[in-house]
Structure 1
Amino acid sequence: MSDRPQGLSDPEYAAFAWGRFRAIMAWMILAAAICVAGVIVILAHFYGPLHLVTMLAVIGGVGGSVMLAGLLMGLIFLSSGSGHDEDVERID
């Protein structure tokens, strides 16, 4: 057994894994912005000009939901890809 740290304990792999997580989050920001813009356009089409409060609610609701889903999905990928899921079964 080597003394080299594994998973996120290894600084090089941690930098790679967190970089991949940040890339996933950057794409999710873009996806959230597209979803928010689409919902605002659709609502404006059906209901006419929207109030600022309505647009803020759409940004918070739709954008927040998409970002939360992306965050949780990214953390699952980070945990699975770094070996933390297997560490749970390892008893020292």
Structure 2
Amino acid sequence: MLPKSPLEDPDKAAFAWARYKRLMRFMMLATVGVVIIALALLYAQNGMVSPHFFIAVALGIGFSMMLMSALMGLVFLSNGTGHDESVDNRLPRNDD
């Protein structure tokens, strides 16, 4: 029989998802800050280049940081709630 995941409890799941959303809000603010700093540094060093360059840099940095923070946040959510310990990952023995 598989053990129950702590995320099946509605109260624990609500707390875990609220913490995840709080982390994502913080990372959104950090991402906006990093994008602004990066664009300011690029403008200071290169002057006005094509607007497409600045848009591409902003989108590249923004999407990369948000994707990484979303995936790492899910890892923290899984580990922090005890969901990782409830998974039965024993493989059958292969004695050939």
Q: Sort the TM-score into its range (normalised by shorter chain).
A: 0.7 to 0.9
| Runs of 4+ with >2 A deviation | none
| Rg comparison, structure with higher value | 2
Please say which of residues 31-40 and 56-65 is displaced more in the overlay.
Answer: 56-65
Alignment match, 1:60: 59
Equivalenced residue count is 87
Deviation track 1:14-72 (CA, whole Å, cap 9, x = no partner) reads 11000000000000001100110001000000111243312221121111111112111
Which 5+ residue runs of structure 2 have no aligned equivalent? 91-96
Larger helix percent: 1
Q: What percentage of residue pairs aligned between the two structures are identical?
A: 41
Distance 2:37 2:89 in 1: 47
User: Scaled by the length of structure 1, what TM-score is found?
Assistant: 0.84
TM-score, normalised by the number of residues in structure 2: 0.81
Q: How does 1:24-39 map to 2 (within 5 A)?
A: 24-39=23-38
Q: Are 1:89 and 2:88 an aligned pair?
A: yes
- Shift of the alpha carbon at 1:81? 1.1
